[in-house]
Structure 1
Amino acid sequence: MDGVNGALPADPFAVTLGLLSGTVTWPASATAVLAAIAAVILLLGLGAGFLLRERGQRRTAVDAAAPHMGKGKQLRSLSLAGAKATAERLGVQNWVGVFLGISVAGRQRLYASPEDMLTLIAGPRVGKSTAYVIPAIADAPGAVLTTSNKRDVLDVTRGLRSKVGNVWVFDPQQIAAEPANWWWNPLSYVTDDVKAAKLAAHFASGSRASDSRGDAYFDGAGQDLLAGFLLAAALENLPITTAFTWTTSPGDDEPVSILRRFGYDQMADSVSGHVNGESRRRDSVYGTASQMAACLKVRAIARWVTPQGDELDRRPQFDPQAFARSSDTLYSLSKEGQGTAGPLVTALTAATVEAAEEYATKHSGGRLPVPMLGVLDEAANVCRWKDLPDLYSHYGSRGVVLMTILQSWSQGTHVWGRDGMRKLWSASNVAIYGGGVREPEFLNELSQMIGEFERHTTSTNVGRGTRSSSHALQRERTLDVADLGALPRGRAVVLSSGAPATLVITIPWMQGPHATTLTASQRTDQAALPVPRPGARRDE
């Protein structure tokens, strides 16, 4: 090539020996060609590596089931084209829905549409937050509310969400060490006796241990008594802690007088019946009501839901109605155990979602102009919303997209009962199983829903000098209980309305379109930042 060698032998081994012995000279141009070839190979390798990482890094044993599950045109409703068509029909712009993953068979990107409700069941540390919660929040087009018992989602997404709206962190148990520099008045939700009963129900369900059977009479009576106290406090514009104080004062008829003065005679009669009831029964009812509202006696919690100081509290007050019209983000944090703020997290979540529903009814089609996303992570622990299964499909028609996340099927049955959990699962347009669950009954039902496939078998018989073969079709479970129990991280089973179950590759946020922004948010040292005004943008 460079004229440094004469006629070279055709045998490559002879050329190699010549290079080693010095009879053949290595030309400079060959170095350039070799470098170019190496660069091309390197780029191809990097590209292949990226594709492998994007598509689940490597195949797993469970992937062999994918060809026997939903694929191709069967997943039209979940495809990008299908999600876009639904979004256009609903008038939703710049959002096609919650990203679900990439199908193992066919490598389609799959989405839940902007009117789909979701339920995700997956065990601890299998990637729920990294593959579903954080990407969904990052992609959301409007207001977002999310619940959790950890601060990880807050840390990763706050920076991004603060660029599109105000950030509110409800942290009465100091999970993220957030100051109480804003507050919410739960009694602003109590506009009548019906709302008072709903708020009391949130206190009842949120304060009861998941393994507690309770007492039908005293639980019901205590909840009714608390509802009367909450309504009386709201009518008189008293702090919500007054309702707890009344639960510790059997015989105090002040709430009865307030209720009668405002015309709630039936509620007054109900409360009066307990105030003047037989002492032992009365004390038991009051004790039950007091346990339901026990979180209000914790000073650190109370300052998040009551005005502070002798003068008018100058802290911003959270307004669910204004939130529903915004692109703000509400992070509600709590944890189980003594002093849980779970009842208030549930009440705040319900009040915010109901405000969005009311706002939706004022628009064409009864839907929010921009969908609101609600990610109820750790729902069975920190957001025990008893009526949720009954309301699930309704909220989807209002443009309020909810994703309820549980660690197991049994968690849901502890909160909503067997029938309630089945109702929630059935009302979910998209149901996701992300692995990590060891409950044979649930996994067996899931296996049945995934279905069977026909395996072709061949058997050969040899005898008396002859050889014969027989063929048969044998039906087998596509994924049996053992397969589902051992589902590897990075895979999930998606069941959707009108489509067969499909196996997907879950994509963590670190490999998504918002990776750079989210990584920067995660790395931000919050302790080094000045404390922002409550509800203020972080970039102000």
Structure 2
Amino acid sequence: MRQEANTSNRRAQPAGSSSESLMWVGFLFTGLACLGVLYAVVHLGHKIENTGAAVPADPFALLLELVKGRLAWPGTSTWLLVAAAALLLAVLVLWVVAGRKRAKSRSRVDHAAQYLGAGRDIETLSEANARKFAERFGIEGPVGVVVGETITRGKKGQRLFSSWEDMLLLIAGPRTGKSTSYAIPAMVEAPGAVVATSNKRDLVDATRGPRAEVGKVFVFDPQRIALEEPSWWWNPLSYVTDEVKAAKMAEHFAAGSREAGAKTDAYFDGAGKDLLAGLLLAAALDGRPITQVYTWLTRPTDDRPVEILRDHDVPMIADQVAGVIMSPDKQRGGVYGTAQKMAACLTNRQIQPWICRQGEDDDRPEFDPAAFVRSTGTLYSLSKEGAGTAGPLVTALTVATIEAAEELAAQSPGGRLKQPMLGVLDEAANVCRWNDLPSLYSHFGSRGIILLTILQSWSQGVEVWGDSGMKKLWSASNVKMYAGGVSEEGFLKSLSELVGDYDMVARSASVSDGKRSTSTSIQQRRIFDVAELAAMPKGRAVVLASGSRPVLVRTVPWMVGPHADAVKASIARFDPQGQATIGQAVESLHDVAEAEAEREEAER
């Protein structure tokens, strides 16, 4: 028994032709083509030589006359036949060369594109849809964030966009092109202000030049990742205007100071956070620098913060702080010790110039989030993980800026920013642990605050927001992208199910008593199984968007985009290893193309 298969995405009933039928059809067409060529060269040969012979108009009669020798074969026809064969060979060579060129832009997973979204199925990601949205809200410049190009055979694919209302989530492992194909192009083309977080300097080096041409650039680099000098400063306490914002600031310190996935004490963690919030509010109300908060935390019996809170008519918070001060020694020590750990980043001398004015003669400008969101400037916030991290301050600065944009949007026509603000939260789970992000995600899109959150894995998000929080973030994202490099079976299995199945028509043939019989059946197969998703090649991504079927896309790195020259110039200027970085980027692009060509050749 032998089995064969035809595939399509969905079939209502078995259909199609067997391979034997297709083979015989191929032979038939080849024979007819040869007969046609023979017919043409014989007629032309006799006409050119003016033989006067009666050449049959019926091609089959002509062939019969030639075989029986009743019709002479002109010498000219031989040359015509050689010319036709040479022409056919040339066409075949051109077809092979064109096929090899096409192979360079193909990948081993591209066959799956035929079972995924296309045309109307992905209309919400089309450029026309994104442009319609931009025109409706009067947004100038690019119509949205490029998410990739559709995979099509023999021609360039359709470019897909998220609109300036869509929230994006990208999950991809290390060195899969997250910055190259998504973060950098999105930042360079953003029409309004941009906020970016990262634990590397690549975003700064690649986009600083183009972004400086449209607005002022601020690089918050307290750990000297990009070797930036503190030419400006930001007062975190300028954000703390009431008890609510004091509690939010304390939450950022708490989330940013603990190890990912670390267990917390039910009493001391909450009490320490409340104490820190009270001291932050006291320092803000009294016009003190934020470093004063840590000084108070080292003096558990100092009741000056209580006096400040009472003087500014905040009696309940004052009582809360006083209650800790008057508690038993061990209990008080535990609460103060917990709060100290949360605020430990304030002891880093490299960080202090970025968050405090350095003496009366310090004339550096102070960063104002409210003014920034009204501009087309760019804010980069950089931090490393581990000891001495500035993560809590990066989170606080990012949140303060985004909330300033939210306040501006509330005052703007339609309740949204006139020009959208883009937030690229690269390494969000490491350097920008914003606990409320999943709950607020969908809300920001309607305000014109577009966030692209980038994670290396699903579990990385779970460590920060918990399982339910990560699911909420996933559901709140209008455009979800997976670009490979992840080996988590649970996540990949769920993604495989979301992408869906296709119907395979299987045919079996058998011979019994000299009679041949065939049977057909429909079998459902996964478009992408877990192994294929885990081995997703670089340069490809699966995109799931609201209102669209899943689609396989070719990612669009900055090296092939309209701003390639500007990005190269920026890297050459700001990256200490600029030429090497550019060379590696171009080489990586060539490596991807060559690897795809080799895979295509192997499949052939």
Structure 2 length as normaliser, TM-score? 0.78
Deviations 1:112-136 (A, max 9, x none): 0000000000000000000000000
Deviation of 1:45 (Å)? 7.8
The answer to whether the Cα contact below 8 Å between 1:461 and 1:467 also exists between their aligned partners in 2 is yes
Residue 147 of structure 2, aligned match among 87, 100, 125: 100
Q: Superposed, which structure 2 residues align to 1:82-97 within 5 Å?
A: 82-97=129-144
Deviation of 1:217 (Å)? 1.1
Question: Counterpart of 1:518?
Answer: 567
- The answer to whether the aligner puts 1:452 opposite 2:511 as a matched pair is no
- The answer to whether the aligner puts 1:265 opposite 2:315 as a matched pair is yes
Question: Counterpart of 2:525?
Answer: 476
Paired letter, 2:446: S
Q: Specify the SS of the correspondent of 2:117.
A: coil
Question: Counterpart of 1:139?
Answer: 189
Q: Specify the SS of the correspondent of 2:484.
A: coil
Q: Superposed, which structure 2 residues align to 1:390-469 within 5 Å?
A: 390-469=439-518
Question: Counterpart of 2:370?
Answer: 321
1:312 and 1:400 map into 2 onto residues whose CA distance is: 37
Deviation of 1:12 (Å)? 7.1
Deviation of 1:160 (Å)? 0.5
The answer to whether the Cα contact below 8 Å between 1:86 and 1:114 also exists between their aligned partners in 2 is yes
Paired letter, 1:85: K
375-384 or 104-113: bigger deviation:
104-113
Question: Counterpart of 1:286?
Answer: 336
The answer to whether the Cα contact below 8 Å between 1:71 and 1:105 also exists between their aligned partners in 2 is no
Structure ID, larger Rg: 2
Q: Specify the SS of the correspondent of 2:354.
A: coil
Q: Specify the SS of the correspondent of 2:209.
A: helix
- The answer to whether the aligner puts 1:308 opposite 2:355 as a matched pair is no
Question: Counterpart of 1:339?
Answer: 388
1:183 and 1:45 map into 2 onto residues whose CA distance is: 59
Q: Specify the SS of the correspondent of 1:467.
A: strand
Residue 254 of structure 2, aligned match among 193, 204, 216: 204
Paired letter, 1:248: T
Question: Counterpart of 1:78?
Answer: 125
Deviations 1:394-415 (A, max 9, x none): 1101000000000000000000
The answer to whether the Cα contact below 8 Å between 2:174 and 2:456 also exists between their aligned partners in 1 is yes
Q: Specify the SS of the correspondent of 2:351.
A: helix
- The answer to whether the aligner puts 1:276 opposite 2:326 as a matched pair is yes
Question: Counterpart of 1:243?
Answer: 293
RMSD of aligned Cα (Å):
2.3
410-419 or 103-112: bigger deviation:
103-112
- The answer to whether the aligner puts 1:172 opposite 2:222 as a matched pair is yes
1:498 and 1:180 map into 2 onto residues whose CA distance is: 46
Structure 2: 5+ residue runs without aligned partners?
1-74, 84-89, 578-604
Paired letter, 2:107: T
- The answer to whether the aligner puts 1:158 opposite 2:205 as a matched pair is no
Question: Counterpart of 1:531?
Answer: none
2:426 and 2:530 map into 1 onto residues whose CA distance is: 25
Paired letter, 1:65: A
Deviations 1:251-270 (A, max 9, x none): 11110110010001000011
Paired letter, 1:287: G
Paired letter, 2:557: P
Label 1:46 to 1:461 Cα distance change in 2 as closer, same or farther (>3 A): closer
Question: Counterpart of 1:534?
Answer: none
Deviation of 1:526 (Å)? 6.1
1:148 and 1:220 map into 2 onto residues whose CA distance is: 28
1:360 and 1:195 map into 2 onto residues whose CA distance is: 19
Deviation of 1:244 (Å)? 1.1
90-99 or 475-484: bigger deviation:
90-99
Paired letter, 1:133: A
- The answer to whether the aligner puts 1:124 opposite 2:148 as a matched pair is no
1:257 and 1:451 map into 2 onto residues whose CA distance is: 63
Paired letter, 1:344: L
Q: Specify the SS of the correspondent of 1:381.
A: helix
Paired letter, 2:354: W
The answer to whether the Cα contact below 8 Å between 2:261 and 2:464 also exists between their aligned partners in 1 is no
Deviation of 1:58 (Å)? 2.4
Residue 234 of structure 2, aligned match among 171, 184, 201: 184
Q: Specify the SS of the correspondent of 2:519.
A: strand
2:463 and 2:232 map into 1 onto residues whose CA distance is: 33
Label 1:102 to 1:240 Cα distance change in 2 as closer, same or farther (>3 A): same
Deviations 1:13-49 (A, max 9, x none): 9x99xxxxxxxxxxxxxxxxxxxxx9xx99x989995
Deviations 1:494-521 (A, max 9, x none): 0000111100000110000000111111
Structure 1: 5+ residue runs without aligned partners?
1-8, 17-37, 529-540
Q: Specify the SS of the correspondent of 1:513.
A: coil
The answer to whether the Cα contact below 8 Å between 2:137 and 2:418 also exists between their aligned partners in 1 is no
2:248 and 2:403 map into 1 onto residues whose CA distance is: 12
Paired letter, 2:459: S
Deviation of 1:211 (Å)? 2.8
Q: How many residues align?
A: 490
The answer to whether the Cα contact below 8 Å between 1:170 and 1:333 also exists between their aligned partners in 2 is yes
2:165 and 2:152 map into 1 onto residues whose CA distance is: 25
Question: Counterpart of 2:198?
Answer: 148
Deviation of 1:371 (Å)? 0.4
The answer to whether the Cα contact below 8 Å between 2:544 and 2:550 also exists between their aligned partners in 1 is yes
Deviation of 1:57 (Å)? 3.7
Deviations 1:337-372 (A, max 9, x none): 000000000000000000000011111110001100
Deviation of 1:95 (Å)? 2.4
Q: Specify the SS of the correspondent of 2:267.
A: helix
- What stretches of structure 1 move > 3 A for 4+ residues in a row? 9-13, 44-49, 525-528
2:576 and 2:168 map into 1 onto residues whose CA distance is: 35
Deviations 1:163-203 (A, max 9, x none): 00011000000001100111000000001111100000000
Question: Counterpart of 1:488?
Answer: 537
1:334 and 1:130 map into 2 onto residues whose CA distance is: 20
Question: Counterpart of 2:273?
Answer: 223
Paired letter, 2:328: E
Deviations 1:271-315 (A, max 9, x none): 111011111011011010000000000110111101102x14201
- The answer to whether the aligner puts 1:254 opposite 2:304 as a matched pair is yes
Deviations 1:403-437 (A, max 9, x none): 00000000000000000000000000000001000
Deviations 1:306-329 (A, max 9, x none): 1102x1420111100001000000
Paired letter, 1:247: L
Deviations 1:95-148 (A, max 9, x none): 211000101148211000000000000000000000000000011001001000
Paired letter, 1:331: Y
378-387 or 311-320: bigger deviation:
311-320
Deviation of 1:524 (Å)? 1.2
Deviation of 1:248 (Å)? 1.3
Paired letter, 2:554: I
Structure 1 length as normaliser, TM-score? 0.88
Paired letter, 1:474: Q
